[in-house]
């Protein structure tokens, strides 16, 4: 197949004057190179498209692809991850990963938690603070945890996110409202282990790839998987693949959340344990990072013996199952 690749390169936005934290979710050149290499090894003809603007220009010029491998995050608005898939839907071009509805839903952590909870998936009690007047409606017991409602890569998360008093809650929420110009998710703080669960596949075919225990080192910002800790993961965070009883419970809950939210092909679900050791859904990332060394999905693929090329193969196979007619993923897809 001719497979286009849509993406947002972090270095391009940094060169245009955007900040480090603003661009934290965007991709590095080695990610694009790795995807391109894996697609070529699977027998496809990869074609770098680039961001939303580049895609629009090429669509208007009459170009078409058999499939688009989409990892474009976008930069502005709660619907930013939905922009490329929506455009591809309009041109009736199939693509990898989730559709516009799911990407907008999961980016808004509050709405995702509403859906997950209504589908019977445990999640911490929460409130959404859209403006200072909403602080009076936060009737949850302390400690609480605050973060922007629609950011990834732990943007806006720091030691100040965990709050123990109404004064700290107000201070943190006002800061996040001003800095990110979006509502703040306030939820009950869970003191237990934190897992990130890799998932591949769609619907009934979805399977857990593996579970990583996110362990903060002694030098890390304590008890918070913060932006600082995540940016410096190589010295501050240890990711351990685990298969103990609590990890298996987290995996089961993550898979239930993945299916409830309608996520497709591959991604991650973040889970944390409460004080009694029970898992709770935090958020889903259906457009997870695919850096060949540092991204969680790539780490899990290596740990389970699948490898990076095997991960890309599973993603493409899952996407191809939605095509009107069966399309062979590769003649050498073993």
Q: Quick one: pLDDT at residue 58?
A: 98
In angstroms, the first-to-last Cα distance of the chain is 17
Q: Quick one: pLDDT at residue 282?
A: 97
Residues 28 and 79 in one domain: yes
Kindly report, residue by residue over 148-163, the tens digit of the pLDDT: 999 987 888 999 999 9
CATH code, 268: 3.30.470.20
Q: Quick one: pLDDT at residue 222?
A: 84
Tell me the H-state helices in 129-244.
166-180, 227-231, 233-236
Residue 331 has pLDDT above 70, yes or no: no
Residues 224 and 166 in one domain: no
Kindly report, residue by residue over 77-135, the tens digit of the pLDDT: 889 999 999 999 999 999 999 999 999 999 999 999 999 999 999 999 999 999 999 99
Which pLDDT band holds residue 333 (cuts at 50, 70, 90)? very low
Kindly report, residue by residue over 248-306, the tens digit of the pLDDT: 999 999 999 999 999 999 999 999 999 999 999 999 999 999 999 989 999 999 999 99
Residues 7 and 42 in one domain: yes
Residue range of the domain that includes 234: 194-286
Residue 39 included in any domain? yes
Whether this prediction's pTM lies above 0.85 is answered by yes
Kindly report, residue by residue over 209-245, the tens digit of the pLDDT: 999 999 999 898 888 888 888 878 889 989 999 999 9
Q: How many domains does the chain have?
A: 3
Residues 182 and 199 in one domain: no
Note the maximum CA span of the chain: 62
Q: Name the strand (E) or helix (H) holding 29.
A: helix 29-41
Residue 160 included in any domain? yes
- What whole-number distance in Å separates Cα of residue 319 and Cα of residue 267? 13
DSSP string across 32-62: HHHHHHHHHHTT-EEEEEESHHHHHHHHHTT
Residue 162 included in any domain? yes
């Amino acid at each position: 197949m001719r497979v286009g690749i849509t993406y947002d390169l972090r270095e391009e936005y940094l060169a245009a004057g955007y900040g480090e934290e603003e661009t934290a979710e965007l991709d590095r050149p080695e990610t694009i190179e790795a995807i391109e290499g894996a697609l070529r090894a699977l027998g496809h003809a990869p074609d770098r498209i680039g961001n939303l603007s580049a895609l629009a220009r090429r669509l208007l010029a009459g170009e078409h692809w058999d499939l688009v491998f989409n990892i474009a995050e976008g930069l502005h608005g709660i619907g930013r991850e939905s922009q490329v898939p929506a455009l591809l839907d309009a041109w009736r071009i199939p693509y990898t990963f989730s559709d516009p509805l799911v990407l907008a839903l999961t980016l808004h952590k509050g709405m995702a938690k509403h859906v997950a909870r209504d589908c019977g998936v445990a999640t911490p009690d929460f409130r959404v603070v859209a403006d200072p007047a909403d602080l009076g409606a936060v009737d949850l017991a302390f400690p609480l945890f605050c973060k922007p409602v629609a950011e990834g890569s732990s943007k806006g998360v720091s030691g100040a996110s965990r709050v123990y008093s109404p004064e700290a809650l107000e201070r943190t929420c006002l800061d996040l409202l001003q800095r990110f110009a979006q509502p703040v998710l306030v939820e009950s703080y869970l003191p237990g282990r934190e897992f990130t669960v890799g998932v591949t596949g769609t619907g009934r075919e979805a399977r857990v790839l593996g579970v990583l225990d996110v362990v903060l080192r002694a030098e890390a910002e304590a008890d918070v998987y913060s932006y600082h800790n995540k940016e410096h993961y190589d010295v501050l965070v240890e990711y351990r693949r685990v298969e103990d009883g609590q990890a298996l419970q987290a995996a089961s809950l993550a898979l239930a959340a993945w299916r409830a939210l309608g996520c497709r092909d591959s991604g991650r679900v973040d889970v944390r344990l409460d004080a009694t050791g029970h898992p709770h859904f935090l958020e889903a990332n259906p457009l997870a990072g695919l850096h060949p060394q540092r991204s969680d999905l790539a780490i899990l693929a290596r740990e389970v013996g699948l490898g990076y090329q095997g991960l890309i193969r599973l993603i493409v196979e899952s996407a191809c199952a939605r095509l009107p007619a069966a399309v062979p993923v590769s003649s050498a897809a073993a």
